[in-house]
Chain A
Amino acid sequence: MALFLFRRIGTMILTALCLTFIVFWLTNLAPNLEKLAKNQGNVRMTDEQVDSFLQDRGYSQPLPIKYAQWLGVAPGWVIEGRDGTVRSRCNGVLENGVAPDYARSFCGVLQGDWGYSTVFQDGVGSIIATRLGLTGKLMFWVMVVMVPGALIIGVMAGMREGSRTDRTLSTVSIITTATPEYVSGVVFIAVFASTAFGLRWFNGSATSAMEDATFENFTLPVMTIALYGMGYIARMTRASMAEVMTAQYIRTARLKGVSFSNIVLKHALRNALIAPFTVIMLQFPWLLNGVVIVETLFNYKGFGWTLVQAAGNNDIELLLGVSVVSVFVVLITQLISDIGYVYLNPRISVS
C-alpha cells in the first residue's frame, strides 16, 4: 500500500509539473505579455517601451528559466533596468541599487511565494486560501445534498427496473442532468427569488452567505449545482443497481429466502456502489468548474469567481496559482477514488 501511494504521488507530481508548465507557457505568450505591459504601464507605450518594461521585470528571460524561478527551483532574478532602477523577483525594487545576497534567493511556489495579484492588490497565496475556503463551504453543502440524494434515487429506481418508480425517477434525473446550471440557476432565481411568481422564498444573491450562510441565501446556489450532478450520479447508480439485481448471486439470495429489503441492503448495495463511487469522486473536479458559473451568477466570491476575475484581467500570477490548486484537487480526488475503490471491491487489491 505504501509503495502504491508513493508511486501514485510520484505520477501526480509529474502530471502537476506538466500541466502547470502548459498553463505557464500559455499565460506567458508574447501578446499576453504585451497586454500586461500596456495594462500596468501605459496604454500608449511604444514597442520599444514595452520591450524594456518586460525586460526590466524579468519577462524576457527564456521560458524554462522563468518557469524554474516561478516554481522556486532557480534563484529569482535581479535586473538593473535601463532607467537605472534595480528590480528583483523576490524583493521588488531595491532602493540603493545594489543587490544584496538575499535578493538572489529562491522565491517560488515551493517556497510559498505564489506571487502578487494585480487585480486584488494582494498576495496570491492569501487570496486563494480565503476563496478556496468559501468554495469549500459551498461544495460541502452541495455534496451533502447531492450524494445521498443521488444514491437514494438511483437505488430506488434500479432495484425494480421498469417499474413506475423507476420510470418516474429516471425521467426526473434525465431532466436535471439535461439542464445546465446557467439555465437552472436563472430559472431558480426567477421562480424563487423574484417577484415574477411572487414566491421570494430565497435570496437571489449569495454574497451575504460568504460570512453567514443561511437557508435563505445559500439554498439556490447549492441546489443549482447539486441538481445537475444528482441526475448524473443517480443515472449511474440506477444502471449499476439494475445490473446487479439481475446477477446470479441475487437470484441465489432470493432463492435462499432472503427478503427483498435485505437483498437490496445486504447483497446488492455494496456491489452496486462500486461503479458510481468513481463517478462521485470525479464530481469534485467537475464541481470546481461548475462553481465558476454558479458563483458568478449568484455573486458568491469564491474560487470560481476568482478564476473569472483573474482570467478577465490578465492576472498571470493569480491565474497560475488557481490552476495549480485545480490540478491538485483533481489529482488528489483521483487518488482517493482509487483507494476507496479497493476498499469497496474485494476482488481488486493494490498489489
Chain B
Amino acid sequence: MKDSYDGPILEIDALSISFFTRLREIPAVMDFSVKVMPGEAVGLVGESGCGKSTVALGVMQDLGKNGRIVGGSITFKGRDLGAMNQDELRKIRGSEIAMIYQEPMASLNPAMKIGRQLMEVPMIHRGSSEKEAYARALQVVTDVKLPDPKRILDAYPHQLSGGQQQRIVIAMALMAEPSLLILDEPTTALDVTVEAAVVELVKELGKKYGTSMLFISHNLGLVLETCDRICVMYSGEAVERGSITDVFDEMQHPYTQALFRSIPLPGADKNARPLRAIPGNFPLPHERPNGCNFGPRCDYFEAGRCDAQDIKMFDVPGNERHATRCLRFQEIDWQAPMEAGDTTQKSEPGRVILKMDNLKKYYEVAANALLGKRGDTKVVKANETLSFEARESETLAIVGESGCGKSTFAKVLMGLETATDGQILLDNRNIESTPIEKRDTQTIADVQMVFQNPFDTLNPSMTVGRQIIRALEVFGIGNSDAARRERMLQLLDLVKLPREFGDRMPRQLSGGQKQRVGIARAFAGNARIVVADEPVSALDVSVQAAVTDLLMEIQREQKTTLLFISHDLSIVRYLSDRVMVMYLGHVVELGTTDQVFSPPYHPYTEALLSAVPIADTRVTKKHIVLEGDIPSAMNPPPGCPFQTRCGWKSKVPGNLCEIEVPPMRQFGDGHQVKCHLSDADFDSMEPVIQIAAE
C-alpha cells in the first residue's frame, strides 16, 4: 500500500464546518488550516467544545446528518476528500486513514469477538483470505504488546481491561498500515501509568510504520511528549500553529499563554505562585463575539481594534511555519513575567482531627454464583492497613490509579460502608462502624464530599438554591426558611457564583459552575473534613485552576481539612501539604509533598511521577514504563502488591518481594515507604523530574 507520494499527507485549507439545526446554523470550525507532512505528528490542542474532534470527523468525512463542510478543502495525498463519493471514501477509511477513539470500550463491538473485528480490516481492504487476515491480526496484536495474543483474539471486548481495549483499538487502526492516524483523546479514559505505556506504544509504532499522526488532546504535556508540531484551537479557530518548541517556548497568542499559566507546572505553588485561571467563560458557538473570539477574556484586549474585524492568521517572522491569530502579537512583550497573583501565607496545620488506624475494608464476593451460597467466597481486599493522621487546615492528597482503593476509603470515611477492621477516629471518637444512617447530624455535616462528576451529582429537576437549602435543612442550620435562604446566598458568595444562580436549574450552568455548587453544598454545614474525589478531573484546564484555587481559598478561611483524591500528580504537587500514595489497597508511600516528590521514592511513586506528562520543554524526566495492567484486587499478587510491575525487584535478594508484604520503612519526619529495598538502593535513586537551568 505504500506509494511514493512525498507531498503533505494531509492538507486542510481554510476549512469551515457548520452544524445545521432547525433554529440556526452553528459554525463549529472556522477558517482552519493545518498541514501534516509524512512521518510527522501534529497535535491539536484545545478545551472541550473548541472543535478539535469536529476537525477529525471532517477529515473522515463523517459529520453525520446535520454537519456539513461549508468552506475550504481537505486534501489527502493531493486528492480532495470532499469531492469523493461514498465508495472512494470507504476505500480510504481504515486503509489509508485510521482513527483511534477516546473510549475504547464504546468503540469496540460488544457482541463480536476481537479477532473478527480485527480481521475485517484486511478482508475488506486487501481481499485477504480468512487465514491471512488471522495471521496479520496475530502479528499486530503481538506488535501492540498484548500478552497471549491467541486468547485475546478469541475474547469479547468486555473481557479485557481498559488499557488492553485501547491497545486493540490501536491494533485495529494499524491493521492496514495507514498513512495517517487520527488519535482522538486516545488516553483520556486511562490511568496515567497505562497512558504512558500506550503513548510509548503509539510513538514506537508510528516510527516503525512511518505513519503520520494527528493527535487530538486537551493535555499539553501529552502533546509535548508525542508530537512534532502543535496547533492550538480556541472556539472553532486555530489560534496558534507551529513547532512544539516555538509554541511552548515562544508562544505568540494570548490564549496559549493563558492556557500555560493555568496548568500546574513544576514550580507553581499554591501560596507563593498561584495559578491563574482564564477569566470568563468559553463562548457558545452562536454567541461568539465580533472580531477576536478570545477578546473578552484576553488581558491584551484593545477595544475598537480587536473587536473590529475578523482576524487572519499572521506568520511569525523568524520562525518556521509558526503562525498566530492575534493582531497585537508583535506589540506584546511575551517575555514579561506573569503578574504576581495574590500571594498568601502558608497556613500552619493545626491539631489532629482525623486519625486512621490500621483501617481495613474487605468485600466478600461469591466466587462462583453457580455454586450459590455453599460455594466459597473470595475476599476483595480493597483497603489494607491504612494508617494516617490528618490535621486541621491541611491538604492531604491521596494518589493512586483506578482500583487502588482510594474510593473505598472515601466510602468508609463517609459512612457509606463500614470498616472490616481498624479504627477511624474523628475528634477521638470512633466512627468506623457507624453507617451514615446512624451518624448524628453533626458528624455528617462535619465530613462532606465533593464529587468527581459535577454533571451527575446535581438533581436536574431542582434549582441550585433549593439543593443547597435542602442540605442546610438536613444539617439543621438556620431556624427559618428566610434564614436558610440568606445562608444559601452567602454560600453562593463563598464559591463566587452570582446570587441569581440560586434560582437557576443545573442544566443552565457550565461544568465549572456546577462544581462550585457542589462545593457550596459540601460546605453548607461548615464541614471540617472535605473529601474531594477528583474534583477537577472532569473539567477543562482553564476551569480547573479556578476551582482548585477556590477550594484552597475556602480551606484557608475555614481551616478545613481537605482530603484530595486524585491521580493527577501535577495538581497534587501544586496544592497538597502531604501526599499518600496508594496501590492495590496498600499505602506504599506517605510523606510531605517535597518528600514524596523527591528521592528516595517507592518504586511505584517513581513510575507514577515519570508517567505524568508535563507541559514544559525544560523538564527532563527519567523514562519508566510499567509493564502490564494493575492486578485485580480480587486476586492480588502474593507478597508486595507492586512486585508484578516493579522495576527494582531484581535488587532485592532472594524472592523476598514475592513472599512477604514489605514493612513500612521510616525515613524520618513522617516519611514512610513500604518497600524491601535496601538503604543503599534508596540512596542511589535519582530524581525523576529535573528542570534544566534557564
Residues from chain A with Cβ under 8 Å of B121 in the complex: 256-257
Category for how many chain B residues contact A? 20 to 34
Q: Which of B6-14, B87-95, B212-220 contacts A (4 or more CB under 8 A)?
A: B87-95
Asked if B156 is at the interface (CB within 8 A of a chain A CB), the reply is yes
The proximity string for A residues 181-194 relative to B, scoring 1 for CB distances below 8 Å and 0 otherwise, is 00000000000000
Category for how many chain A residues contact B? 20 to 34
Residues from chain A with Cβ under 8 Å of B156 in the complex: 346-347
Cβ B94 vs Cβ A256 within 8 A: yes
Cβ A3 vs Cβ B370 within 8 A: yes
The proximity string for B residues 362-375 relative to A, scoring 1 for CB distances below 8 Å and 0 otherwise, is 00000011111000
The proximity string for A residues 330-351 relative to B, scoring 1 for CB distances below 8 Å and 0 otherwise, is 0000000000000011110011
Closest B residue to A160 by beta carbon equals B65
Cβ A267 vs Cβ B101 within 8 A: no
Asked if B315 is at the interface (CB within 8 A of a chain A CB), the reply is no
Cβ B110 vs Cβ A347 within 8 A: yes
Q: Which of B98, B107, B111 contacts A251 (CB 8 A)?
A: B107
In the docked arrangement, what's the CA distance between A47 and B544, Å?
86
Closest A residue to B175 by beta carbon equals A256
Asked if B112 is at the interface (CB within 8 A of a chain A CB), the reply is yes
Residues from chain B with Cβ under 8 Å of A248 in the complex: 101, 103, 106-107
The proximity string for B residues 107-130 relative to A, scoring 1 for CB distances below 8 Å and 0 otherwise, is 111111000000011001100000
Residues from chain B with Cβ under 8 Å of A270 in the complex: 111-112
Residues from chain A with Cβ under 8 Å of B90 in the complex: 257-259
Q: Which of A258, A271, A346, A351 contacts B120 (CB 8 A)?
A: A258
Cβ A255 vs Cβ B94 within 8 A: yes
Closest B residue to A345 by beta carbon equals B111
Asked if B496 is at the interface (CB within 8 A of a chain A CB), the reply is no
Cβ A252 vs Cβ B372 within 8 A: no
Cβ A255 vs Cβ B158 within 8 A: no
Asked if A25 is at the interface (CB within 8 A of a chain B CB), the reply is no
Closest A residue to B109 by beta carbon equals A249
Cβ A257 vs Cβ B125 within 8 A: yes
Residues from chain A with Cβ under 8 Å of B106 in the complex: 247-249
Q: Which of B62, B95, B98, B169 contacts A254 (CB 8 A)?
A: B62
Within A201-254, the residues touching B (CB, 8 Å) are 247-249, 251-254
Cβ B101 vs Cβ A256 within 8 A: no
In the docked arrangement, what's the CA distance between A347 and B155, Å?
11
Cβ B110 vs Cβ A249 within 8 A: yes
Closest B residue to A257 by beta carbon equals B94
Given known A4-B370, A267-B112, contact A251–B91 (CB-CB < 8 A):
no
> Nearest chain A CB to B97's CB is how many angstroms away?
8
In the docked arrangement, what's the CA distance between A346 and B155, Å?
10
Q: Which of B62, B99, B110 contacts A346 (CB 8 A)?
A: B110
> Nearest chain A CB to B202's CB is how many angstroms away?
17
> Nearest chain B CB to A245's CB is how many angstroms away?
11
Closest A residue to B97 by beta carbon equals A255
Asked if B263 is at the interface (CB within 8 A of a chain A CB), the reply is no
Asked if B60 is at the interface (CB within 8 A of a chain A CB), the reply is yes
Asked if B172 is at the interface (CB within 8 A of a chain A CB), the reply is yes
Closest A residue to B372 by beta carbon equals A3
Residues from chain B with Cβ under 8 Å of A344 in the complex: 111
In the docked arrangement, what's the CA distance between A147 and B106, Å?
30
Within B58-101, the residues touching A (CB, 8 Å) are 60, 62, 65, 90-95, 98-99, 101
Asked if A41 is at the interface (CB within 8 A of a chain B CB), the reply is no
Q: Which of B108, B124, B370 contacts A252 (CB 8 A)?
A: B108
Given known A347-B156, A351-B370, contact A255–B99 (CB-CB < 8 A):
yes
Asked if A162 is at the interface (CB within 8 A of a chain B CB), the reply is yes
> Nearest chain B CB to A249's CB is how many angstroms away?
4
Ranked 8 nearest A-B pairs via Cβ: A256-B94, A257-B94, A248-B106, A257-B93, A249-B109, A346-B156, A252-B107, A270-B111
The contact sample of 9 A-B pairs, CB cut-off 8 A, is: A248-B101, A249-B107, A252-B108, A252-B109, A255-B93, A257-B95, A257-B121, A347-B158, A351-B369
Interface residues of A (CB under 8 A from B): 1, 3-4, 7, 162, 247-249, 251-259, 266-267, 270-271, 274, 344-347, 350-351
